Amino acid sequence: MADRPPVMTIALLSGAALGYEILLIRLFSIIQWHHFAYMIISLALLGYGASGTFLAVTQQRFLRHYPRTLLLNLALFALSTLPCFLLAQRIHFNPEEMLWKWQEALRLAMIYLLLSLPFFFAANSIALTLARYRSTITRVYAADLIGAGAGSLAVLLLLYLLPPLQALSALSAAAIACLIFAAVELRLQRQLWIAAGALLLIAAAVWFGMNARLVLSPYKALSQALRVDGAHIVNQRYSPLALVEVVENAIIPPRYAPGMSLNSPAGPPQQLGLYADGNSLGAITRDSGKPETLQFLDQLTSALPYHLQQQDPVLVVGAGGGMDVLQAVYEHARQVDAVELNPQVTNLLGHDYADFTGGLYQRPGVRLHTAEARGFISSRETKYGLIQLSLQDSAGAASAGLYALSENYLYTTEALTEYLQHLRPGGYLAITQWIKLPPRDTLKLFVTAIDALRASGVDQPGTRLMLIRGWQTSTLLVRKGAFTAGEIRAMQLFCRARAFDVAWYPGIGATDVNHYNRLREPYFYLGARALLGPDRQVFLDDYKFNLQPATDDQPYFHNFFKWSTLREILHLRDRGGLPLLETGYPVIVATLVQATVLSLVLILLPLAATKRAERDDSGAVTRLRVVAYFAGIGLAFLFLEIALIQKFMRFLHHPVFTAAVILASFLLFAGLGSFRSRRYSTLGNQRAGVLRAISGIVLTGVAYLLLLDHLFSWLSAWPAVARMLVSSLLIAPLAFFMGAPFPLALSSLGKQAADMMPLAWGVNGCASVLSAVLATLLAIHFGFVTVVVLALMLYSLSALAFPVKSA
């Protein structure tokens, strides 16, 4: 057997394991909802922790038969990836029944268990290799990180080339190929047989993947649409952003006219349902050239700004199925810029359905841009007459509080300030949202607009705000300049004709409100009045939902949860109170609690196993130090990674590309850092290496905190590719230093207390899982800057806890 570690095998395996994680998030976002995807994957990653426990007991026996054990674990990883997912998606788990039916928790546990298996086998393979090649740990770890970095990029590419499930089958094939690499690198006998067997398995995985189908939750919008007679999918596009599907039904067509006035004489014309990851994205509306078929567009609350004054040019943010663009055209806008993030959607609208939409995007003056909205706006000089954001979340998802965990940079105070800067004098920002009772989104947006106006130097924001509502939607107008009496009269006429209520306009009185869509109390008006008045803070404190405006540092607009209300809601469980529970936040807390409990079990078990072998005689190697050090650097690594992905989102704008560029840069440069740190390992001076690396991390981190924002605003006009390159270079030094602390400490353990290596591996794995969940929770409460500061502190403390004295 060769003495060189099988670095190619490890690199490919790590790439496949990270790719598997990313694919699972995509797949579960499609078949379930994305916050449960997050929960499931976090827990599944505990397979890494379980591997530590397992190896603590079995390491010596396995190391004696290393090649065979490695092959076995590689094979089990490769062969479990596809079947584990296919089985997990067959388990009928319904998150909405969880609070009523304890059996759902069992089903969730089964999904965790199934998905942990592949990670368990992958972790075993890597940990055994690290233990087997103790003197060259830095090389193995470098291969692990570089492989993972390359894997994250490869899976992104794969998601462009194949539908998600077929991408999973391709990934399984790549994982099986690890067996061939291992056979060659370890110079095993019977290489040909192994290769032939692997090729057969690859063929089987591909066949399986091609014939497998995704099983969507029956409660997702797409599943519901497809149950109706005559419904079928007529178009499907995929990318790392989403699986986009178009549904046609000639017998019972979909009809989408959110919040249409009850006085509307007619509904929408022929439409096609548009879905992203099984959630409704609205509809593509047919324009047959007869304006009377589009009358419904004038019966929506979002039509208000067109009745106040001429709007050109109009910017439609999140164009989706094109309804807002069609509305602008119907309302005689001459110049419309439509921005849509997802190129698949723009492609469908611009090409496949160009005729169906009456050539919407081919009209003179109408331009469709594929871009992220904030990035698009900040790069433009144009001053708009109207910036329109309408129903950016699907109704079902919005009502279930599913977005609490996802960062949203469209509704932050900074975003609204930026929109206002891009309005011409007298122009409007119009934001339409779904109405929830008691009011949540609408009032949070109102207070965000107040803050944005104040940030823009407006003393009396109430003079520039107008809020109207129907029974299903509300529209907030923010004007550049105070509303005129003529505009107010036009608004009143608009609302009266459509039975919409007013909730705020300058000069509003208590008798003006709550006429058509009556509430027990005029909550929207009372809320708006309180938020503009001197008692704003009292109102925010007393309100049972969190209405604190979101910022770019804490971009969680949809998190309305307050702990103080939880008891009351649970008390009202059987009396229709459960829908008041904003589920996103409790889910993340539940994930953290579960992950902590499981991690403790996984850490305590190996501790018990290593008890007898403890090396207190070496002076410095104690279990406590091993746990503290490896937990510290595990938490800190992901804190920095996650916080910086968010920070760079403001610079690179596109969520998927940002995550890919930053994640891949982190892993690749950390891999190089690990490789470079081997000289400390060879000299037996790991501690000095770690101290230098951590000093580097802290200094670079502090520099980022001080300089990044300035740098970003200075370079914001650069083209996207250049910005990606700059981002990667900016990440390089930090990541380079971050690559050293783990392998150096592990290699020093390998020399002085090899039996503690599995413990270190397990603790680090568990800490990484907790870190991802904890970082989101901390960011919700304290912002991403705090997460970075905490990470730097954790690194510093870890330096003090370095587990082995220098030789």
Partner 1 sequence: MKNLARYCVLVLLLAGTHVSADTAEQYREQRAQLMREIADDVRDTSAYLDKDTLDPRVMQAMARVPREAFVPGAERRYAYENRPLPIGHGQTISQPYIVAIMTDLLRLRPDDRVLEIGTGSGYQAAILGELVKRVYSIEIIPALAKRARTVLDELGYKQVSTRVGDGYYGWEEQAPFDAIMVTAAADHVPPPLLKQLKPGGRMLIPVGSRFMTQQLVLVEKGADGSITTRLLLPVRFVPLTGER
Interface contacts to partner 1, rule CB under 8 A: 94, 96-97, 100-101, 218-219, 223-224, 227-229, 251-252, 255-260, 262-267, 395-396, 399-400, 435-439, 471-472, 499, 515-520, 523, 526, 538-539, 541-545, 564, 568-569, 572, 574-580
With the C-alpha atoms ordered 378, 380, 385, 387, is the resulting torsion angle positive or negative?
Answer: negative
Both structure tokens of 383: 């001053």
For residue 434, the minimal CB distance to partner 1 (Å) is: 9
For residue 346, the minimal CB distance to partner 1 (Å) is: 24
State CA 277 to chain mean position distance.
14
For residue 496, the minimal CB distance to partner 1 (Å) is: 11
If phi > 0 it is left, if psi is from -120 to 50 it is alpha, else beta; for residue 426 that is left
| Cβ closest to partner 1, residue 229 vs residue 381 | 229
Burial of 297 (C-beta count, 10 Å sphere; 0-12/13-18/19+):
buried
| CA-based nearest residue to 447, from 478, 418, 469 | 478
| Cβ closest to partner 1, residue 195 vs residue 569 | 569
For residue 43, the minimal CB distance to partner 1 (Å) is: 23
Phi first, then psi, for residue 500 (nearest 5°) are -100, 150
Q: Do residues 480 and 423 make contact, with C-beta atoms less than 8 angstroms apart?
A: yes
| Cβ closest to partner 1, residue 68 vs residue 92 | 92
| Cβ closest to partner 1, residue 94 vs residue 596 | 94
Pairing of strands 465-469, 473-479: antiparallel
| Cβ closest to partner 1, residue 381 vs residue 574 | 574
| Cβ closest to partner 1, residue 252 vs residue 702 | 252
Q: Do residues 261 and 292 make contact, with C-beta atoms less than 8 angstroms apart?
A: no
User: At CA 107, angle to CA 101 and CA 111, rounded to 5?
Assistant: 150
For residue 777, the minimal CB distance to partner 1 (Å) is: 24
Torsion, CA 626, CA 629, CA 635, CA 641, rounded to 10: -130
For residue 782, the minimal CB distance to partner 1 (Å) is: 25
Burial of 706 (C-beta count, 10 Å sphere; 0-12/13-18/19+):
exposed
Tell me the three state secondary structure of residue 218.
coil
Calpha distance 598→44 (Å, rounded): 11
Q: Give 276's DSSP letter.
A: E
| Cβ closest to partner 1, residue 290 vs residue 567 | 567
Q: Where are the beta strands (DSSP E) in 546-687?
A: none
| Cβ closest to partner 1, residue 190 vs residue 496 | 496
| Cβ closest to partner 1, residue 499 vs residue 691 | 499
For residue 127, the minimal CB distance to partner 1 (Å) is: 42
| CA-based nearest residue to 241, from 410, 396, 26, 15 | 26
Calpha distance 682→17 (Å, rounded): 29
| Cβ closest to partner 1, residue 539 vs residue 782 | 539
Calpha distance 629→339 (Å, rounded): 47
User: At CA 195, angle to CA 192 and CA 200, rounded to 5?
Assistant: 125
For residue 687, the minimal CB distance to partner 1 (Å) is: 55
End-to-end CA distance of the chain: 30
For residue 506, the minimal CB distance to partner 1 (Å) is: 23
For residue 138, the minimal CB distance to partner 1 (Å) is: 51
| Cβ closest to partner 1, residue 343 vs residue 579 | 579
For residue 748, the minimal CB distance to partner 1 (Å) is: 54
